[in-house]
Structure 1
Amino acid sequence: MATIKKKRILREVRFLVMITIGAMIAAAGLEFFLVPNDILDGGVIGLSIIASELTGWTMSIFLILLNLPFLYIGYRKIGMKFTMHTLYGVVVLSLSTAYLHHFEPVTDDLFLATVIGAVILGTGVGLVIRTGGALDGTEIIAILVSKKRPVSVGQFIMVVNVFIFILAALLVFSWETAMYSIITYYIAYKMIDIVVEGLEEWKSVTIISEKPEEIADSLLDQLGRGMTYIQGEGVFSKQPKKIIYTIVSRIELSTVRSVVDEIDPNALVAIENTTDVRGSNFDTGSPH
């Protein structure tokens, strides 16, 4: 029991360290590039920038105040652990932006500020999300809405952000900076995906063929990658079938296609994106 408790404590410390680093990186992207050039991110961060411009209060105050209702909803609907990680991340982000606000911006070039700021911001937010938290309360609402309505999390956040960018253009900034803000949001969104899911793109491949052994032997020989037979049955023929299942990298996918086309051009090949692969010494390429 003591060993398990120690592992949990160490894991939680590691999570908090990663959230701290992620929130500080996000703050650097905001204060060194985006905020000084009147460029918004979406969600609560964007609303905080607008509120700061309208009231003259520091953005760090609004980062906490505007997130509080979402955090309460998250606590009631999602759970304590996620909510506490998110609250901690928001506090670190708020304190970091308050501190960095006193430094001079790195550049006043709008294009450079948009691209570099978005990359840095997306990296920081991605680290926090990968750890199991968030820096923006609108993501909590998006998760809850997606469970009850036929709308994805990304679609809901996009709608909210379009409204925020229009609001910014009408009340505070210009349409030009609003359009730069849209570019910022898109780049940051992609960077979050890269940080959370990684640069490598894995593909899960399912092959249904009349020659499964030949295809499997050839793939094993050329890729050195393990695979699994799934026992199936044809609906019409009622005959047993061996279905090949394996996971390959994007680069290896062309070899899979070539092998299947050469051995059985009529084979059915289904390919899906896989964002995370663990266990069975997969990285070494040994058989599953």
Structure 2
Amino acid sequence: MITRALLVIIGAFITAYGLETVLIPNNVSDGGVTGLSIVGANLIGFPLGLLIAVLNIPFVFLGYKQIGTSFAIYSVIGIASLAIGTILMHHLPPIIEGDTLLITVVGGIIIGFGMGVALRNGGALDGIDMLAVLLSRKLPFGTSDLILFLNMFVFIVVSTVFGFQGAILSAIAYYIASKVVHIVEEGLSGSKTFKIITNEPELMVEKIRENLGRGATYNVVEGGYSNEKFKEINCVINRLEDSKMKEIINEIDEDAFVIVYDVAEVKGGNFKKHDVH
């Protein structure tokens, strides 16, 4: 728990560094509650850290009600650390100036990495996602659609302070940050699940075990039209093994029915990297 709390704090300070040395000095904002806090700090002159802490209070309460005590505690630690970090780093000189493309890319990467570290260890640095989860239960829209809608509103507000160009750059930086958060949470390699229906299920599983060192499971499925029963193979692999898996499938049965989808996390069992041969 102490390690996770420290990592949430580190993630928050990394995010604060990206805000104070890249985005804010170049009139570029972030999305969510942090973006609204930046606008508020520019309009009324309150310290950014104070606004981040105050505006996130209702969202932390939502997180406590919707997700749980542990998430709320780590989020309080993260948001408080972000607020303190922006105060401590406010007078640091900007590390990039002028080049708008470089500003959005570097700023997005830094804040995305910091937010990803915090989220991976159980804490959030911004409350807008919690609001989206709550609204998705009341409205006929998905969480991702609501996050997009809420941030569109944020960037409209940002345009009143930083202008249309600043709002567009802020949206680009936010998009880059969201992609980096995804990478940090799930890792660069990630995993994939293959669902395979073939006329040679036993041979397919044997080849997968021999060539990839991966185990597999069977599900008995029935064709909706033919009512014929099949053994459906389920196998989880590393992304790096994707091409080799496809080679094995094509070698044994070119007409095999295959479904492939990404897996966010794999734990337990014998899921370890093996030599591909």
Using the size of structure 2 for normalisation, the TM-score is 0.92
CA contact (8 A) 1:201 1:250 kept: yes
Instruction: Write the deviation string for residues 253-287 of structure 1: whole angstroms up to 9, x where unpaired.
Output: 2232233233223321111111111222312449x
Instruction: Write the deviation string for residues 209-240 of structure 1: whole angstroms up to 9, x where unpaired.
Output: 11111222222222222222334445566555
Secondary structure in structure 1 of the residue aligned to 2:261: strand
Secondary structure in structure 1 of the residue aligned to 2:92: coil
- State the Cα distance separating 1:143 from its structure 2 match: 1.6
- Structure 2 match to 1:29: 18
**Distance in 1 of aligned mates of 2:3 and 2:139:** 35
Higher deviation after alignment, 183-192 or 240-249 = 240-249
Instruction: Write the deviation string for residues 137-163 of structure 1: whole angstroms up to 9, x where unpaired.
Output: 111111222334443322211111111
Q: Please report the RMSD computed on the Cα atoms of aligned residues, expressed in angstroms.
A: 1.9
**Distance in 1 of aligned mates of 2:187 and 2:40:** 34
Higher deviation after alignment, 175-184 or 264-273 = 264-273
Letter in 2 for 1:131: N
Map 1:202-221; keep pairs closer than 5 Å.
202-221=191-210
Secondary structure in structure 1 of the residue aligned to 2:237: strand
Q: Do residues 153 (structure 1) and 143 (structure 2) align?
A: yes
- Structure 1 match to 2:2: 13
Map 1:254-269; keep pairs closer than 5 Å.
254-269=243-258
- Structure 1 match to 2:105: 115
| Match of residue 45, structure 1, among 20, 34, 39 | 34
- Structure 1 match to 2:59: 70
5+ residue gaps, structure 2, are none
**Distance in 2 of aligned mates of 1:98 and 1:233:** 62
Secondary structure in structure 2 of the residue aligned to 1:205: strand
CA contact (8 A) 1:206 1:271 kept: yes
Using the size of structure 1 for normalisation, the TM-score is 0.89
Letter in 1 for 2:142: S
Distance 1:275 1:234, change over 3 A: same
Q: Number of aligned pairs? A: 274
CA contact (8 A) 2:189 2:240 kept: no
Letter in 2 for 1:124: G
**Distance in 2 of aligned mates of 1:100 and 1:216:** 56
- State the Cα distance separating 1:206 from its structure 2 match: 1.0
